[in-house]
Amino acid sequence: MAASVLDLPVREFSAQLAAKEPTPGGGSAAALAGALGAALVSMVCRYTVGREKYAEVEDAAQRVLARAEGLRADLETAAEADAAAYGSYSRAQSMPRETEAERAERDAALQAALRESTAVPLGVAERCSELLELAAEAAEIGNPYLISDAAVGAEMAAAACASAELNVRLNVGGLEDAAFAGEIRARLEALAARVGGRDLVERAARAVAERSGA
């Protein structure tokens, strides 16, 4: 992959996803979907803060905006990190394995890359679970003319979270470090409890329906 994921035009990023190349892949796509969801939440907040008619939610909207922007930056970085991690794994697979020493070196490189390829999407999933909460809140307090965008942000965050989690569950089975694998599984359980299925997505949609009179 010649260009940075974040520097690619949308059309080229789509083409690279479709290409017969290992990166970018589903992990980067999930992270960017989350970043787009965060951007939508930020937009709703920016159309809310500083307006007298929404003064009673000013502090909350400012808080949601600040955190959504932090998550957007983290998720954009994760899109790059995921591509780099999988690139490392792909390179490790190509390492020589003729001798016992070469095999040991290759196995160590594969495990290091697999650890990173597991940790990065787990971080994406955890950030997107937080983003889901922010999106639901934005739908409840934000400028009513834009709250559907908050609900879209919730849908994107949910999709990104579930997609990243799929990558984690695929990779954790190949980890040889039992303690690290156990930590990952414990974080997955905590994540499931936090997300609560589609509860937060439905909360955002419900806010839109109630506030729009639909």
* pTM of the predicted protein model: 0.92
Tokens matching residue 113: 């890359």
pLDDT of residue 212: 85
CA dist 194 and 203 (Å) reads 14
28-60 burial: b if 16+ Cβ within 10 Å, else e? bbbbbbbbbbbbbbbbbbbbbbeeeebeebeeb
Tell me the per-residue pLDDT of 131-170, one tens digit each, with 9 for 90 and over: 999 999 999 999 999 999 999 999 999 999 999 999 999 9
71-127 pLDDT tens trace = 999 999 999 999 999 999 999 999 999 999 999 999 999 999 999 999 999 999 999
Average model confidence (pLDDT) for the chain? 94
Whether residue 129 contacts residue 191, with contact meaning beta carbons closer than 8 Å, is answered with yes
For residue 47, give the amino acid letter. Answer: Y
Each residue's pLDDT tens digit, 26-54: 999 999 999 999 999 999 999 999 999 99
195 pLDDT band (50/70/90 cuts)?
A: confident
**Mean pLDDT of all residues in 171-194:** 95
Annotated domain spans of the chain: 22-212
SS3 8: coil
Q: Which fold has domain 22-212?
A: Four Helix Bundle (Hemerythrin (Met), subunit A) (1.20.120)
- Could you tell me where the DSSP H helices lie in the chain? 10-18, 26-46, 58-93, 100-141, 147-172, 178-195, 199-212
- Radius of gyration for the chain, computed over Cα atoms and rounded to the nearest angstrom: 20
CB 113, CB 149: distance < 8 Å: no
pLDDT above 60 for 1 = no
CB 67 within 8 A of CB 130: yes
* Mean pLDDT, rounded, for 186-190: 95
Q: Which are the contacts of 168, defined by CB distance < 8 A and separation ≥ 6? A: 118, 121, 122, 125, 184, 188
CB 127 within 8 A of CB 164: no
